[in-house]
């Protein structure tokens, strides 16, 4: 049963009265908090003034006590201000769901209201709203009417669910409620999915599905791999999982303990609002390129992942494909490890060092000491061997070396060691492998992207681990399919913490270095895996169209119907361009909020933007240097669009020359699956063979 505001019935009346009462309790709590904050502020002000006035009369203990008192009052005031902020959010929408639960050992139903944040009314000592992450809230997501159970801190609680309702409350007004004995999520989900897009990714606490809830609340997996179809909500689910873990382990896990590896800064900005909406502080974020620069101490210049892909798309370079594929293999990782062992074995040729009068430091001692300090920088390693040799002489011969003798020992040890730069060692790797053709610098002497993490892996083997990231307690990796086994090996060593890894093998923008969930489990054998196949973003028609492009993709479209995708053929590129102009104008007059004009390459996006920007000054071009997800109409390449969604999508140049390879197919699939409500593909030549059948050319 669906109940709207204009319909009068006892259940609706009771719910409106309850909403009004909860609003009153929230406002009363807010007034009390504001009074407390005011008192704390006055207390801090008075304490500070008193301390300043009587500083000369106070001893050290009194000064320390005064500072601690001021700090405690300020801390308490800050916590109260945080509570006030959460209550203000609740005033706009206190809760989105309710269920009535009768525990087995009780006879009366317990109404449980679920909201974005919890509200415990101190005045009446009662939970009026439960946080969506609370243990009891799992009943709302996991069960329909009938038996249910959940894990409380005291153990398992069983009982009966006798009622379930869901609401949409905005600005304190109930817009509608649903009261049903079947899955109440479906109609609410349709309502949410049918809305126009927001500027950024939004929270989905009101529509979390059962399979999604299981992933969010999985608190035991050391590594959780989420393979999700396009539009399955995997990134949103991962962020809600982070929010859940911060709630569940609030005493041991903080926002600053978490790091997100995201594909680019635009995507990072797009998802930046989710955690704050859920009441958590924003967590740190970085991209693989930035991580690489830090690990290489900013001493090497290299092309980016997107630049490498752009080269692949613009030229049929068989050598580049071979180099990328070779360096993305597990075997290459093993070759680096064997080569590092070879370098280590050849790094020190020990000889006896003699001081005279029978005093000697044997070669075996020097060799063992050298091996003992593996992973230490060359200069420091030599110094440690010298210090150990001095101690050996002092212990066995009761003799302290003179300055000239220390110098002689140091020179001897340095002469036994072979110093090789990291750059030289990496170049020689390919000669050692018998594959010198696999090393080829990019333009301007930069490293190719496929060389960057193999170089880092070799650096870590030769010089030891970089420990600056050891404080990270949970790592979230998005777009897992775009990282290679070597990259995962580096990540595993850098971040020995829990991980959530997510992506979609069908959205790989570089099939020569792509990873699958199964391949990633080879690096993390202890990993648990989950799959999300239901696609929520796009309408049924758009999802079915996209599955024709990538028939091997596992995606189940949701039954939300809309306009059929259009494939428009034109007699000339000029006509195609004019049609795109008309589409952008029509978007400006529509009720939709976002339009993505998604090209295959960045070069194509920039060229099209140049042609269109005179007519549409507000049309934003997103590229690798962009850091903000722009509102309205944007134009970008498919790799930049990954993870984003738009009300409408236009995919230009959908012809056979532009989209013909497997790499092209994946990019076209990415472009199409960004569309929520409307999808249009245009071409002025033979249509791509990946497209379904289409109507006659519109330009004739």
Tell me the per-residue pLDDT of 576-605, one tens digit each, with 9 for 90 and over. 999 999 999 999 999 999 999 999 999 999
Instruction: Give 655-671 pLDDT, tens digit per residue.
Output: 999 999 999 999 999 99
Query: What is the arithmetic mean of pLDDT over 1-30?
Result: 80
Residue 196, pLDDT above cutoff 70: no
Contact partners, residue 208, CB within 8 Å, separation at least 6: 132, 141, 185, 216, 240
What number is the average pLDDT over the span 373-382? 83
pLDDT band of residue 185 (cuts 50, 70, 90) is very low
Average pLDDT over residues 343-363: 86
Token readout for 468 is 């600056």
Beta strands 556-557 and 632-637: pairing type? unpaired
Mean of all residue pLDDT scores within the chain: 88
Average pLDDT in the 27-42 region? 81
* DSSP assignment letter at 258: E
Query: What is the structure's pLDDT at 278?
Result: 85
d(CA 459, CA 465): 8
Find, among 552, 661, 540, 558, the residue nearest to 600 by Cα: 661
Identify the residue whose tokens are 């999985």: 218
Contact of 683 with 600, CB cutoff 8 Å: no
Q: Give the pLDDT of residue 696.
A: 41
Percent residues over pLDDT 90 in the chain: 59
Q: Please compute Rg for the chain using Cα positions.
A: 31
Q: What is this structure's pTM? A: 0.85
Q: Is the pLDDT of residue 695 over 50?
A: no
Span 105-134, pLDDT tens digits: 887 888 999 999 999 998 999 999 999 999
State the Cα–Cα distance between residues 506 and 514, nearest whole angstrom. 10
Query: Residues with Cβ < 8 Å from 229, sequence gap 6 or more?
Result: 504, 506, 532, 533, 534, 535, 553, 554, 555, 556
């Amino acid at each position: 049963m669906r109940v709207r505001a204009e319909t009068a019935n006892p259940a609706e009346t009771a719910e409106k009265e309850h909403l009004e009462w909860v609003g009153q309790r929230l406002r009363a709590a807010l007034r009390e908090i504001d009074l407390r904050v005011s008192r704390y502020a006055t207390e801090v002000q008075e304490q500070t003034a008193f301390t300043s006035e009587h500083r000369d009369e106070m001893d050290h203990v009194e000064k320390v006590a005064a500072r601690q008192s001021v700090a405690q009052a300020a801390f308490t005031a800050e916590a109260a201000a945080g509570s006030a902020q959460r209550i203000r959010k609740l005033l706009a929408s206190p809760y989105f769901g309710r269920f009535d639960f009768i525990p087995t050992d009780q006879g009366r139903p317990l109404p449980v209201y679920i909201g974005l944040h919890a509200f415990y009314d101190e005045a009446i000592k009662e939970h009026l709203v439960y946080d969506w992450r609370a243990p009891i809230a799992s009943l709302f997501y996991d069960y329909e009417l009938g038996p249910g159970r959940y894990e409380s801190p005291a153990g398992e609680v069983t009982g009966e669910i006798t009622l379930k309702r869901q609401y949409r409350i905005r600005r304190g007004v109930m817009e509608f409620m649903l009261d049903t004995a079947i899955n109440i999520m479906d109609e609410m989900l349709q309502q949410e999915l049918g809305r126009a897009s927001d500027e950024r990714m939004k929270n989905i606490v009101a529509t979390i599905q059962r399979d999604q809830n299981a992933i969010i609340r999985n608190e035991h997996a050391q590594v959780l791999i989420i393979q999700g179809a396009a539009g399955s909500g995997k990134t949103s689910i991962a962020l809600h999982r982070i929010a859940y873990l911060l709630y569940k382990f609030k005493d041991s896990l903080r926002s600053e303990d978490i790091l997100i590896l995201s594909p680019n800064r635009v995507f990072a900005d797009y998802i930046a609002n989710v955690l704050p909406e859920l009441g958590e502080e924003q967590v740190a974020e970085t991209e693989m390129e930035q991580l690489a620069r830090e690990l290489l101490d900013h001493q090497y210049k290299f092309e980016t992942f997107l630049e490498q892909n752009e080269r692949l798309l613009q030229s049929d370079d068989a050598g580049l494909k071979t180099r990328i594929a070779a360096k993305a293999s597990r075997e290459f990782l093993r070759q680096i490890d064997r080569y590092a062992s070879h370098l280590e074995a050849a790094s020190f040729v020990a000889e006896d060092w003699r001081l005279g009068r029978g005093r000697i430091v044997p070669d075996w001692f020097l060799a063992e000491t050298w091996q003992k300090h593996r992973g230490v920088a060359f200069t420091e390693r030599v110094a440690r061997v010298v210090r150990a040799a001095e101690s050996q002489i002092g212990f066995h011969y009761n003799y302290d070396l003179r300055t000239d003798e220390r110098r002689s020992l140091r020179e001897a040890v340095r002469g036994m060691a072979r110093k090789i730069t990291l750059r030289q060692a990496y170049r020689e790797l390919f000669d050692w492998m018998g594959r010198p053709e696999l090393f080829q610098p990019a333009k301007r002497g930069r490293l190719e992207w496929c060389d960057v993490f193999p170089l880092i892996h070799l650096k870590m083997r030769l010089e030891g681990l970089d420990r600056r990231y050891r404080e990270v307690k949970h790592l979230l990796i998005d777009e897992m399919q775009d990282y290679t086994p070597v990259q995962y090996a580096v990540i595993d060593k850098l971040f020995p913490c829990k991980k959530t890894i997510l992506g979609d093998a069908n959205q790989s923008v570089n099939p020569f270095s792509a990873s699958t969930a199964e391949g990633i489990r080879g690096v993390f054998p202890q990993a648990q895996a989950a799959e999300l196949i239901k696609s929520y973003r796009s309408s049924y028609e758009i999802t079915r169209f996209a599955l024709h492009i990538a028939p091997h993709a596992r995606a189940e479209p949701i039954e939300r119907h809309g306009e059929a995708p259009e494939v428009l053929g034109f007699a000339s590129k000029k006509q195609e361009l004019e049609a795109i102009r008309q589409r952008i104008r029509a978007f400006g007059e529509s009720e939709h909020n976002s339009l993505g004009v998604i090209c295959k390459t960045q070069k194509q996006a920039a060229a099209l933007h140049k042609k269109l920007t005179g007519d549409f000054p507000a049309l934003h071009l997103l590229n690798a240097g962009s850091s903000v997800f722009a509102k309205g109409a944007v134009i970008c390449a498919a790799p930049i669009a990954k993870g984003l969604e738009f009300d409408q999508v236009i995919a230009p140049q959908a012809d056979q020359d532009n989209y013909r390879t497997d790499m092209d197919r994946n990019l076209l699939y990415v472009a199409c699956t960004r569309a929520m409500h409307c999808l249009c593909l245009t071409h002025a030549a033979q249509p791509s063979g990946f497209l379904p059948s289409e109507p006659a050319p519109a330009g004739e």
